Structure 1
Amino acid sequence: MVAADMPRKPSNILYSVNEKLPLGTLVILAIQHASLALLFLVYPLVAAAEAGLSFEDTQMLITSCIIFMALATLIECLPRAGAGLLLIQIPNMAHLPLAVQSMAAGGPALYAGMSLIAAVSQLTLSRFMGALRAVFPPEICGVAVTMLGVALAEPALRRVFNLAAESGGAALDLRYPLVSLVSLVIIILLAIFSRGLLRLFAVAIGAGVGWGLAAYVGVAPAPAETFSTLPYVDLPKLGLPGISFFSWALVPAAILTGIISAVDMLGTVVSMQRMDDADWRRADLAQAGRAIRANTVADMGAAVTGGFASASSSAAIGVAFATGTTAWRVGVVAGAIMLLATFSPRLIGALTIIPAPVIGAILIYAAAFLIVAGMELILSRRLSDRRIFTVGLAVLTGLAVAILPELVHATPDWMQPILESPLSVSTGVAIALNLFFRIGIRQEASRPVVPGDNPFVATTEFLERQGDLWGARRDVIAAAIPVVAEAVEMLLDTGVAEKGVEMRARFDETNFDVSLLYEGEAIAIPTHRPAPEDLLGDAQAVARFVGYMLSKRADRLVLGKEGERQILTLRFEH
């Protein structure tokens, strides 16, 4: 990649996506990410417990999950194999309802079959990423990123206030929020006010202090009785549970789980793209497609060997923001560490006893970042009434299922896995409303400007109205208005367009084009700056001067002809 193609690094990022890190820093950051990813093994453990799996089947589920989670992380982070972004994989929470239902109905073999169907759904969607650009404009991506944060809030707060266990109406135990608060404050203070190694290891330091405090106040979980019997080093055990598709009732849930996973992946990819590029404009859907395909390959491998599916971690995005590091090399080393962890049952067992309030603090940090990052994406575009309602109604719908779970429980069983995810609900509503509200909006509009009109007022009113309708970026419209107004003014005042100008605007998510149509002398674009005296010459000399000036103001100037009228098109990259 040449220097000109490199994204501009934001001021809060210490090591951007393609930068190299000192070896010691690289390893410690990778350990942070790998440790956090392995903590989420609670999802497959919960699924195994709910389905009543045997110890051997549970061991096979966990081991396969870690292996393919690690391999997926390696593939995702490598630039040519995957997305080339810091995308750390964790067990996929969206698979939890599907895993519980399918393993309870038909054991690991049925879950393997449903996982394969979900993976194929993801893979199918990734083949149409280029055609989905109009479906996923930045404000829709912003809704997805915001609701990623909202979705993290519930499991985070449950851990902070110890609400995961059955309390039976017992009084709140203030030791749990105390541990979370101390951990969170340390992470935030180090992430904001420190520099160098302290900032890089903010999450690890905060988690370490929180763990120590949890042990001191007596809320750190005790190791299970079998912990001491786990070997330090052992070969990972995989199996082949077989594949079953006999439960057609679960097929719709499997397909929708795959779609939800793809949307979740899109949200994390957009978040990383936005974090790593100070001049971010729009989602790179080709890169998102590579990320989804890499995840799909790993999920298929996990399904065949009896494992639990994985997905990119939202919490890891918060860690990347806290440490100011988005380098893909960190992810590669983290994947290698996770792979090595499968050879140490004792290490995996130790990670499962990290205090819940410490995990809650890390999740709160990640949720806060994602919510604000999503809002920033939403507000990067001009919002018409249609788009305001699209975003507002989508967010409210997602919040409704998050704060009113009884609404979800009142729906049919096959719908509940879909509606339990605020991310999938709000993103689905946003996509549907975006497509609906596009009805009646033309992608091309025009307005005449005649001698005597104020070119600046006419241009401002026209372009701002169309920018609102089309949801164009604010800075692009702001940059286009003075250039187009100056072009119209020069064409009218110099007499090149004696009968007036027709402004014609067009928007296609990639370019914002404004064409000026007029009857008169064709504009020329000279290679050298004309002399100011040319303004006193004939019409051709004046036209050359106008062409030269405009060619320096727009991203591209295109000349053409429509019947008897000349066309001068000013292109602004979007």
Structure 2
Amino acid sequence: MPRKPSNIIYSADETPPLGTQLVLGVQHATLALLFIVYPLVAATEAGLSFDDTQIFITSCIIFMGIATLVECLPRYGSGLLLVQIPNMAHLPLAVQSLAAGGPALYAGMSLIAAVSQLTLSRFIGALRAVFPPEVCGVAVTMLGVALADPALRRVFGITGEITPDLDLRYAMVSVVTLVIIIVLAIFSRGLLRLFAVAIGAGAGWALAVYVGVAPQPAESFATLAYIDLPRLGFPGLSFFSWALIPAAIITGIISAVDMLGTVVSMQRMDDADWRRADLGQAGRAIRANTIADMGTAVTGGFASASSSAAIGVAFATGTTAWRVGAISGILMVLAAFSPRLIGLLTIIPSSVIGAILVYAAAFLIVAGMELILSRRLSDRRIFTVGLAILAGLAVAILPELVHITPEWMQPILESPLSVATAVAIILNLIFRIGIRQEASRDVTVEENPFTVATEFLENQGDLWGARRDVVAIAIPVVAEGVEMLLDTGVAPGKLEMRAHFDEENFDVSLIYDGEPIAIPTHRPSPEDLLGDAQAVARFVGYMLSKRADKLVLGTDGTHQKLTLRFEH
């Protein structure tokens, strides 16, 4: 079982009180439903009728809830608190598809995107070398950066071009909301911390009403039914748009990378001793999402993906329990039966949403940096991370660069997340050229074992991107093993120190000419230190076996081999 971090009240597998689960589930479901603005924008841009727009949104909400429920269940999904929202990466594809061929064409392109995600998830376990922590860290950091634009636009009430006459009432509402959330998340305990986001959002909404920046409900709001059967459609499937097929495939890949980033963020938040991404868990989450997206496609809805904003809410409340996510999924499905409730969610002040997004963006940026710095950084890795983030920022800062590219490429390049992650993956693969997974160095009896072990293992740790704490643990253990073999004369004159690294283990083998040693299964007596060289070697070997994760004795040709394994 992973060790729970000190700032987490209820971890993934723990069961909060039922009342707490319900309130937190409502909190997550409400935030997720606020993002129906994305399918609304797509429907408006494409000129869909009122009936088609209802179907478009209702299908999206139902399958958002189903995907959330399945993703959160340990057996069928990831067992993590992953909450779905409408997939912003699908917005360009939806607008173009709906305009070119209506709901049938978008349904076909959405199905292609889902198949792309599903295909990638089948091979995700074999892609561990493609997604080391620094690449995952870039993805998580850029998730936060990608949230910055929609967050800050909502904070300042910007709907179009920025003008000098900004209405500072929007910023005031956002600041008050954000301050309440942060104060409760940091300085409070118990229920106040658990419901920090809900309390902050409620206070912000009340302030927005008071200062006059809360949106007013449309005249048709009063005619909406409290309870009604959801309307789903069957628009058919059209695949006859060769220009959009590449965009659909790339959209699916972007969605998978986005999902990977949210899964890694939740894994990191829930485990104080987190070492590497559990790609099997990520694959299950992606598969659950793609199945829901296929259902959305055939019923005429908008695709969904895991919410990075929900990660910020989980951090603020100190709760990552999957049961909270499952309840939020059920509530989203039930919300589809209440047109009046959905209408109410559309009038929550955008400045309140902006404050929540700012909180989530800040957490994701720092979490990504922490992931990047969890490994030793060589020059190769420094340039991988730096150039990838700069590429993503270039897209965010200079969107004009995207507009001069071919039209079919623009949906791909408009996302800072997809650009930065793609550049990080490519540079990581290029910079791996010339790095051997095994290296060795001879050590003589005249050299200082600790100095040699430090220089050799730190240098190789930098090249391989090994975890800092693993290398720090390995150095004194290896140095002690070298000293024992050379000083006792078991290894006469010199030995070879050979290091091997993969994402699972950091192994250091000491290879020498001489007699084999036996590692006792029971603790030797202190008197053994007064015996011959073999007795001393057995005593030290026993101590080494307790300090390394595994000690293996063997041979390398005609030489003796003592291997110290450190789990990575």
TM-score normalised to structure 1 length: 0.98
Query: What amino acid is the match of 1:40?
Result: F
Instruction: Give per-residue Cα distances to partners, 1:327-379, cap 9 Å, x unaligned.
Output: 00000110111111011000000001100100000000000000000000000
1:531 positional shift: 2.7
Q: Which residue of structure 2 lines up, in the alignment, with residue 59 of structure 1?
A: 54
Query: Which residue of the partner structure matches residue 3 of structure 1?
Result: none
Other-structure match for 2:108: 113
Q: Which amino acid aligns with 1:565?
A: H
| Distance apart, 1:162 and its partner CA | 1.3
Q: Which residue matches 1:268?
A: 262
- Does 1:517 find its partner at 2:511? yes
Q: Deviations over 1:452-508 (max 9, x none)?
A: 111010110000000000000000000000000000000011110013110000000
Tell whether the 8 Å contact from 2:3 to 2:271 is kept in structure 1 after alignment. yes
1:426 positional shift: 0.3
Q: 1:82 aligns with which of 67, 77, 84?
A: 77
Q: Is the CA contact 2:470–2:566 (under 8 Å) kept in the aligned structure 1?
A: yes
- Counterpart of 2:123 (choices 128, 133, 150) is 128
Match of 2:166 in 1: 172
Question: 1:534 Cα shift?
Answer: 2.8
Cα deviation, residue 409, structure 1: 1.0
Residues 166 and 345 (structure 1), Cα distance of their counterparts in 2 relative to 1, 3 Å cut: farther
Tell me the CA shift for residue 166 of structure 1. 5.6
Aligned counterparts of 1:541 and 1:210: Cα–Cα separation in 2: 73
Work out which of the residue numbers 17, 36, 41 in structure 2 matches 1:41: 36
- Give distance in 2, aligned partners of 1:373 and 1:319: 14
Look up the match of 1:92: 87
CA distance in 2 between partners of 1:341 and 1:468 (Å) = 51
Indicate the residue corresponding to 2:314 in structure 1. 320
Q: Report if the CA contact (8 A) 1:499-1:519 is conserved.
A: no
Partner of 2:477: 483
The one-letter amino acid paired with 1:106 is G
CA RMSD of aligned residues (A): 0.9
Q: Are the equivalent residues in 2 in contact too, given 1:203–1:362 (CA < 8 A)?
A: yes
Residues 384 and 424 in structure 2, CA contact (< 8 A), matched pair in contact too: yes
Matched residue, 2:399 = 405
Shift of 1:546: 3.1
Taking every aligned residue pair, what percent have the same amino acid on both sides? 82
Residue 248 (structure 1) aligned with residue 242 (structure 2): yes
What is the match of residue 135 of structure 2? 140
Amino acid paired to 1:143: V
- Tell me if structure 2 keeps the 8 A contact 1:243–1:304: yes
Are 1:417 and 2:411 matched, yes or no? yes
Q: For the residues of structure 2 that align with 1:280 and 1:331, how far apart are their CA atoms?
A: 22
Task: For residues 153-189 of structure 1, give each alpha carbon's deviation from its aligned partner in whole angstroms, at most 9, with x where no partner exists.
Answer: 000001111112466x350111010010000000000
- Displacement after TM superposition at 1:543 (Å): 3.4
Q: Which residue of 1 aligns with 2:151?
A: 156
Q: Matches of 2:523 and 2:186 in 1, distance apart?
A: 49
Matches of 1:179 and 1:448 in 2, distance apart?
Answer: 66
Task: Provide the rounded CA distance (Å) in 2 between the counterparts of 1:546 and 1:221.
Answer: 73
What is the CA deviation profile of residues 25-64 of structure 1, one whole-angstrom value per residue up to 9, with x for unaligned ones? 1100000000000000000000000000011110110010
1:499/1:518 contact within 8 Å kept = no
Q: CA deviation at 1:215?
A: 0.7
| Match in the other structure for 2:561 | 567
Q: Which AA in structure 1 matches 2:83?
A: I
- Map of 1:368 onto structure 2: 362
Q: Distance in 2 between matches of 1:418 and 1:519?
A: 58
Asked if the contact 2:484–2:537 (Cα under 8 Å) also holds between the matched residues in 1, the reply is no
Instruction: Give yes or no for the alignment of 1:296 onto 2:290.
Output: yes
Residue 227 of structure 1 corresponds to which residue in structure 2?
221
Secondary structure class of the residue paired with 2:405: coil
Task: Summarize deviations over 1:261-296 as a string: whole Å, max 9, x none.
Answer: 000000000000000000000000000000000000
Aligned residues: 568
Measured after TM superposition, the shift of residue 550 of structure 1 is 1.5
Q: Secondary structure at the match of 2:537?
A: helix
Instruction: Give the secondary-structure state (helix, strand or coil) at the position aligned to 2:565.
Output: strand
- Whether contact under 8 Å (1:70, 1:335) holds in the other structure is yes
Cα offset, 1:141, TM superposition: 0.6
The Cα shift of 1:539 comes to: 4.3
Instruction: Report the Cα distance in structure 2 between the residues aligned to 1:528 and 1:98, rounded to whole angstroms.
Output: 66
Contact preservation (8 Å) 1:521, 1:543: no
8 Å CA contact retained: 1:522, 1:543: no
Give, in whole Å, the separation in 2 of the partners of 1:190 and 1:62. Answer: 34
Partners of 1:79 and 1:85 within 8 A in 2: yes
For residue 535 of structure 1, report the CA deviation from its aligned partner: 3.6
2:179 corresponding residue in structure 1:
185
Shift of 1:430: 0.4
- What secondary structure does 2:511 align onto? strand
Aligned to 1:555: 549
Task: Give the alignment of 1:380-459 within 5 angstroms.
Answer: 380-459=374-453
Deviation sequence 1:286-326 (CA, Å, 0-9, x none) = 00000000000000000000010000000000000000000
2:144 touches 2:360 (CA, 8 Å); kept in 1? Answer: yes
Q: TM-score, normalised by structure 2?
A: 0.99
Q: Is the 8 A contact 2:481 2:541 kept in 1?
A: no
Question: Does the residue aligned with 2:243 lie in a helix, a strand or coil?
Answer: helix
Query: Aligned to 1:29, which of 14, 24, 31?
Result: 24
Match of 1:493 among 456, 478, 487: 487
CA distance in 1, matches of 2:511, 2:280: 36
> Could you tell me how far apart the structure 2 residues matched to 1:326 and 1:430 are?
29
Q: Distance in 1 between matches of 2:318 and 2:48?
A: 41
2: CA distance between counterparts of 1:404 and 1:317? 28
1:205 to 199, 203, 216: 199
Counterpart-to-counterpart distance in 1, 2:431 and 2:339: 54
Q: Which moved more, 1:538-547 or 1:483-492?
A: 538-547
Counterparts of 1:288 and 1:135, CA distance in 2: 14
CA contact (8 A) 1:521 1:539 kept: no
> Match of 1:572, SS?
strand
**C-alpha deviations, 1:529-552, integer Å up to 9, x for none?**
223333443444333223212111
CA distance in 1, matches of 2:401, 2:215: 34
2:332 is aligned, of 329, 338, 342, to 338
Say if 2:420 is the partner of 1:460. Answer: no
Check the 8 A contact 2:80/2:322 in 1, yes or no.
Answer: yes
Q: Quick check: 1:72 aligned with 2:67? A: yes
Deviating 4+ runs (over 6 angstroms): none
- The letter of the residue matching 1:469 is L
Distance of 2:278 and 2:345 partners within structure 1: 35
Amino acid in structure 1 at the alignment position of 2:280: A
